[in-house]
Structures are given as C-alpha cells and as structure tokens.
Amino acid sequence: MPKITFRGKTYSSEFEMPPNVRWAYQKEQLHRTSTKPLTDVVDMPAEVQDAYRRALDREEQSSPSTTEVPTSEELYRQSAPENMRHLPSDESVYQPSAPVIDPEHSTIEPESSLVLRGLVFGILWSLVLIAIVFLVIQFFRQVL
C-alpha cells in the first residue's frame, strides 16, 4: 500500500491518521475527485467524449450568472407601457397589512339569549317526555 503524505506528515494508511486529520484528508480527496471531468474517470469512445464536452460547453454558455439575471423592478420597467414606467412597481409598493382581528384573542362570545333559550327549550322537552312516559305507564296499568 502506498504511503500518504498529508500536510507535511507521512502516514502508512488513512487509519493511522488522527480523526481530525483523517476527516480533512477525506474532504480534500472528495473535492479532488469531484472536480475531475467525467472523461478522466470513465473510459469513453472518442465520439461520446466529444458529445460530452460539447454538452458541457453549451451548459456553461447557456447558464447565466446571478449578476446577469434582471431584478423584478427591471422586468417591470421593460414590460410596462411607456406612460407608466415612471410609477413604482407593485412589488416595491407592497407592504403587508396588520391583521384586522388579533387571532389569539377573539372577541366573539356566544350570545346569552341563545343560552337561555336553549335552557328553556331543554326543560320544556324534558317535561313533554316525562308527560308521555307518565301517560304510557297509566295506559298499561289500566290494560293489565
């Protein structure tokens, strides 16, 4: 196994390195292998290599850098009618408004008249049911 020289020290293997040095070494190795072009790593026929290089060149030419991408304000200026280009865009004017009602503290409470009305109807229905049960019991007493 070949010896590894990293940061001025020579090691017989990765496992001989202290953990923090091993981590730095592995990170550097990963970076080195990820920057190699695919044609250096994989055996390809000449036609495939040419197609791969052309695709890489096209990708580099077509992908704009972030400085070349226009801002929304610039897009607005380009697309707005001539007589409106001096006005600010909607995006620059927009500011979110505060909520009308504080969602944590709702001020909506049940009406007290509804509670009272429900109580009265509940009592009336109970009386009606008791009367029906009483009449049914009286009827069965007379029949038996």
Split at pLDDT 50, 70, 90, the class of 32 is: low
What pLDDT is recorded for position 106? 63
pLDDT tens track for 86-97: 877 766 667 677
Segment 124-133 mean pLDDT: 96
Q: How far is CA 60 from each of CA 37, 38, 51, 57, 88, rounded to the nearest angstrom?
A: 14, 16, 14, 5, 35
Split at pLDDT 50, 70, 90, the class of 5 is: confident
| Three-class secondary structure of residue 4 per DSSP | strand
Q: Of 98, 100, 80, 101, whose CA–CA distance to 90 is shortest?
A: 80
The pLDDT of residue 114 is above 90: no
pTM, entire model = 0.25
Residue pair 6/21 in contact by the 8 Å Cβ criterion: yes
Domain boundaries, the chain: 4-61
Q: Would you state the structure tokens that stand for residue 43, as one six-digit string?
A: 């055996």
Burial of 128 from C-beta contacts in 10 A (0-12 / 13-18 / 19+): exposed
What pLDDT is recorded for position 138? 93
